[in-house]
Amino acid sequence: MIAGPASRRAAAFAVLGLLLVAVGIFATLHGVQRIPLETGIRVLLGPLLPDALQPDVPASYPAILLTLRLPRTLLAIIAGAGLALAGVAMQGITRNPLVSPYTIGISPAASFGASLAILASGDGGAGSYAPVVMAAFAAALACAFLVLGLSAMRGVTGTVLVLSGVGLSYLFGALSSTMQFVATEQQLAVIVHWAFGSVNGATWPAVGVTGLILAVAFPVLCAHSWALNAFAAGGDEVASALGFAVARTRIVVTVAAVLVTAAIVSYAGVIGFVGLVAPHIGRLVVGGDHRILLPFSALVGALLLLLADMAGRMLFAPVVVPAGIVVAYLGVPIFLHLLLGRRRQGA
């Protein structure tokens, strides 16, 4: 019996979900210090047990798992899922497959805010993690709402939104370059490392903030999946004819995507490839229905970034390569393989 589209999609979700769990467990337990699975489970359950039943494990294991690796794994999953969701949303409302969450200037704006905070700290960024995060987040939001304001003056269309974002990207890129030009060698090293994009040094507050914003934005985007289908099918005219408030929908979806992206960038730096390629991989596997594409792309993005981070810290140990660099090396071959395979099937 030939499986239908619904069965194939369910199988794809199941395989991808199980693979994400398996890779997450492996990434959490493996590194410079390998921790056995049974020991890792005992450590994770330790805080829930009374003192008399606390697991007998090396003293360093709880710190490694609970302070270093588990937050890093969770932040990679959240960041990958959030960037992928934002990419699907932005590509849907603009009807442009080349659009990513950074197209409207979030990336250079966040880089400018972080650079400004690093320069203002006077210590090369040492001990100034919170100000850098807040400055990057504030600058990214300021850029996004400036883009929306400029677009509203000409009518909130996909073309105006993209062009406004491109213009402001150049502006904030120039401002970021100016900050790097006047920075000291120590400050410049911190700025460049932040711009690479990495989940190294992830903390529980970072996981909590990004996870909370993603938990709020995800149902908002899913609630607009029918509108995104209308935009993707025929643009503003079709969406309006079907009864959707075009301008309001575009603003709500953009704000949700911006909030997720800004939060992720402020904690993890610029990881630009996931939001572009994960939606395409999702469309090639499950089709263009945004009701299914949104959650599936989130799983693809989470797995892609988690694999990139794991490869960056294991393949080149003791050197840790930022995930923002590795993700392009991993994602491009996967994307090209799926794209060429689908074209051969179509032929």
Question: Other C-beta atoms within 10 Å of 246: how many?
Answer: 21
Integer Cα distance of 141 and 104 in angstroms: 11
Are 297 and 107 in contact by the 8 Å Cβ rule? The answer is: no
φ, ψ for residue 95, nearest 5 deg: 55, 35
Per-residue pLDDT band for 119 (boundaries 50, 70, 90) equals confident
C-alpha–C-alpha distance, residues 327 and 324, integer Å? 6
In the chain, what percentage of residues exceed pLDDT 90? 26
What contacts 261, CB < 8 A, 6 or more positions away? 82, 83, 86, 101, 102, 106, 140, 275
Q: Is the pLDDT of residue 126 over 60?
A: no
For residues 324 and 270, the answer to whether their CB atoms sit within 8 Å is: yes
Reply yes or no: is the peptide bond before residue 318 cis, omega within 30 of 0.
yes
Which pTM value belongs to this model? 0.88
User: Which of residues 279 and 194 earns the better pLDDT score?
Assistant: 279
Residue-wise pLDDT for 212-259, tens only, equals 999 999 999 999 999 999 988 877 788 888 888 888 888 899 889 988
User: Residue 83, class by beta-carbon neighbours within 10 Å (0-12 exposed, 13-18 middle, 19+ buried)?
Assistant: buried
CA distance 98 to 272: 12
Question: pLDDT grade, residue 163 (50/70/90)?
Answer: confident
Instruction: Please determine, for residue 36, whether its predicted confidence score (pLDDT) is greater than 90.
Output: no
- Which tens digits make up the pLDDT trace of 306-331? 999 998 888 877 788 888 888 888 77
The C-alpha atoms of residue 225 and residue 290 are separated, in whole angstroms, by 5
What single-letter DSSP state applies at residue 341? H
Q: Which CATH class is domain 75-346?
A: mainly alpha
Query: CA distances (Å), 90 to each of 87, 157, 298, in order?
Result: 5, 12, 14
- Look up residue 282 and give its amino acid: G
Contact 338, 285 (CB under 8 A): yes
